[in-house]
Amino acid sequence: MAKQLRVQVWNPAGKHRVVSTKPMPGTRWIGLLTAAGCRVEVCTENKTILSVEDIRSLIGTQCDGVIGQLTEDWGEELFAALRKAGGHAFSNMAVGYNNVDVDAATRNGISVGNTPGVLTETTAELAAALTLAAARRVVEADDFMRAGKYEGWIPTLFVGNLLKGQTVGVVGAGRIGAAYARMMIEGFKMNLIYYDLYQSTRLENYVTAYGEFLKSRREVPVTWKRATTVEEVLGEADVVSLHPVLDKTTYHLINKERLALMKKEAILVNASRGPVIDEAALVEHLKENPMFRVGLDVFEDEPHMKPGLEKLPNAVVVPHIASASKWTREGMATLAALNVAAKIKGYPVWHDSNNVEPFLDENSTPPLACPSIVNSKALGLRIGGKPESKL
Ligand SMILES: NC(=O)c1ccc[n+]([C@@H]2O[C@H](COP(=O)([O-])OP(=O)(O)OC[C@H]3O[C@@H](n4cnc5c(N)ncnc54)[C@H](O)[C@@H]3O)[C@@H](O)[C@H]2O)c1
Ligand SMILES: O=C(O)[C@H](O)CO
């Protein structure tokens, strides 16, 4: 018998029961759910990652929808439990949904929401921060300073890499990868090489236009190149940042053999998902190549690091905080709540999941639609959405 988990209840008399497996930032998301007639139960148990058993007990015998987290294992067991409890709506509070078995959700007639767009710039900024921290050895230098080791300026102290005029490689040039590329190109005048399954004409045009602008100012123009293989990016780039989805095609995309193709003094950044890199191979590569540096936001066995990584000065490591700006986290909560509330109300799926801005303006009522449902086609859900109607 599973233990009863602590919950905080909002709008107890609400007609539809919605569970959030975690407290989420801000209050707008709670207001939107209660305005849609939902009783909202937020799990406040002091446990970082809930087990499948914990979540089953939260779902209970009657539940219309759940907002879950990327640390949870949403598979057949939970979706069957949710369907049995009368539910038909689930949303991850994340854009990535590799923790969700979407086919299992579809089999059980449950929609799977995610939160694209609202975290694009925030995540790209953290990838840029990791790039700079690794290139200029910021964390090593900070440790050195705090340890009282600084005895005065010398020409050889913490010499790192200059980014200007170097080549930035982006693997996965979707929303976040393209935003990161633009930051590095405009901010540091880097040239671009990218690899993606699809051509990013928008990004290419952007770099071309920026190159023309620089030329008009008699500055050296930036350039772009679409690589035909990931190996081409690894061989040519001075900085490589990983931004693909995690699936079978990207699991251990960066392995021992591919690390060996990279420049000895290259920088590798990962703010996508940990398993995109074979982390044990990375630890060995970092040991053998002290001038090779990494910036990591995500890890293969989160929350753990592969043994040895914690000791390496050429690695900057942060705990999966790439989307952690107040505006983004509150926006993620809003999108997740609306994915569930609008589905419960029978509204259609928003026509453009790459443009969720209309849902994020706190001063206006959101469109009558689910912002982003990844299995909308498989479930045969209606596409539409009308701005400026009350939920
Ligand atoms: N660290 C964090 O906190 C954080 C925050 C947000 C997103 N993410 C991760 O970033 C990922 C990307 O988010 P997004 O909004 O940019 O998604 P997106 O769908 O816009 O971009 C993903 C890109 O990856 C490409 N891709 C897929 N398979 C590929 C392959 N085998 N090789 C190369 N490219 C491939 C796709 O074509 C697409 O362009 C998410 O799925 C999530 O896992 C992490
Ligand atoms: O996929 C996501 O949205 C992120 O990992 C959350 O920060």
Tens digit of pLDDT for each residue in 297-354?
A: 999 999 999 999 999 999 999 999 999 999 999 999 999 999 999 999 999 999 999 9
pLDDT of residue 250: 98
Rounded Cα gap, residues 170 and 128, in angstroms:
12
- CB neighbourhood size of 303 (10 A): 10
Whether residue 172 has its Cβ less than 6 Å from ligand 1: yes
Q: Which atom of ligand 2 lies nearest, measured to the CA of 273?
A: 5
Give residue 186's pLDDT.
Answer: 98
For ligand 1, is residue 329 a contact (CB within 6 Å)?
A: no
96 pocket-lining for ligand 1 (C-beta < 6 Å): yes
Compute, in angstroms, the gap from residue 332 CA to the centroid of ligand 2.
Answer: 9
Other beta carbons within 10 Å of 66: 29
Q: Quick check: CB of 196 below 6 Å from ligand 1?
A: yes
Q: Closest ligand to 336 CA?
A: 2
Cα dihedral sign, 370-376-379-380? positive
> For the chain, what is the radius of gyration of the CA atoms?
23
- What residues does 43 pair with on adjacent strands? 7
Counting ligand 2 atoms within 8 A of each CB, the residue from 100, 250, 323 with the most, and so the one to mutate, is 323
How many secondary structure helices (H) and strands (E) does the chain include? Answer: 13, 15
Cα–Cα distance between 186 and 171 in angstroms, integer? 18
pLDDT at 3: 77
Supply φ then ψ for residue 356, to 5 degrees: -105, 10
Q: Tokens 């449950």: give the residue.
A: 110
pLDDT score at 385 = 73
- Tell me what pLDDT residue 231 has: 98
Please give the pLDDT value at position 2: 65
Q: How much is the pTM?
A: 0.97
- Residue 177 CA to ligand 1 center (angstroms) comes to 7
- Contacts of residue 240, Cβ cutoff 8 Å, sequence gap at least 6: 168, 169, 170, 171, 233, 234, 262, 266, 267, 268, 269
pLDDT along the chain (391 residues), means of 10: 88 98 98 98 98 98 98 98 98 98 98 98 99 98 98 98 98 98 98 98 98 98 98 98 98 98 98 99 98 98 98 98 98 98 98 96 95 98 71 56
Q: Are 336 and 24 in contact (CB under 8 A)?
A: yes
Residues 160-186: pLDDT tens digits? 999 999 999 999 999 999 999 999 999
Please indicate whether residue 233, judged by its CB atom, sits closer than 6 Å to ligand 1.
no
pLDDT at position 318: 98
Cβ-based burial of 164 (10 A; exposed 0-12, middle 13-18, buried ≥19): exposed
